[in-house]
Amino acid sequence: MENRRTPGRSAGSRGGSDAEIERLAERIAEVVNAAGPEQRADLREYALELLKEGTEIGDVPEARPEGQDANGSNPLGLALLLGVVGLPALLLFAPIGLTLLGIAAVMAVFGVIETLWRRR
């Protein structure tokens, strides 16, 4: 097996991790090579998937602070959408258009207040 060490790190800083990983990699290679030729590619892919799943645990992003919404939404976005939809509706059917524009205005005011409140 060819020696593929991680560049930039000395052997002393890794301790026994290198030897353990090499031992495990050799064991996986033995199992994959012992399988039939038609199964080797699938076993290699399966081993890589398991390794990725097992090592991505530390890469999970941190949880948001309690004061923030889980989806990060702001009423300003919905107000803009309702305003864009309300303008053509105003021309086609005035009561619906006025209602949509009124709701958009209320949501826009609330969105501005919420944005200013969060920045405090």
Does residue 40 carry a pLDDT above 70?
yes
Which of the pair, 33 or 103, is modelled with greater confidence? 103
CA–CA gap between residue 103 and residue 96 (Å, rounded): 11
In terms of domains, do 82 and 55 share one?
no
Most confident of 38-47, 57-66, 98-107: 98-107
Does 108 reside within a domain? yes
Same domain, 55 and 15: yes
Residue 51 lies in a domain: yes
Domain count, the chain: 2
21, part of any domain: yes
For the ranges 31-35, 59-63, 75-79, 90-94, the lowest mean pLDDT is seen at: 59-63
Does any domain span residue 42?
yes
Is the confidence at residue 71, as pLDDT, over 70?
Answer: no
Q: Is 5 a domain residue?
A: no
Per-residue pLDDT band at 110 (split at 50, 70, 90): very high
Its domain, for residue 41, covers 11-59
If asked whether residues 55 and 16 sit together in one domain, one would say yes
Cα 77 to Cα 74: distance, rounded to the nearest angstrom: 6
Q: How far apart are CA 26 and CA 16, in angstroms?
A: 16
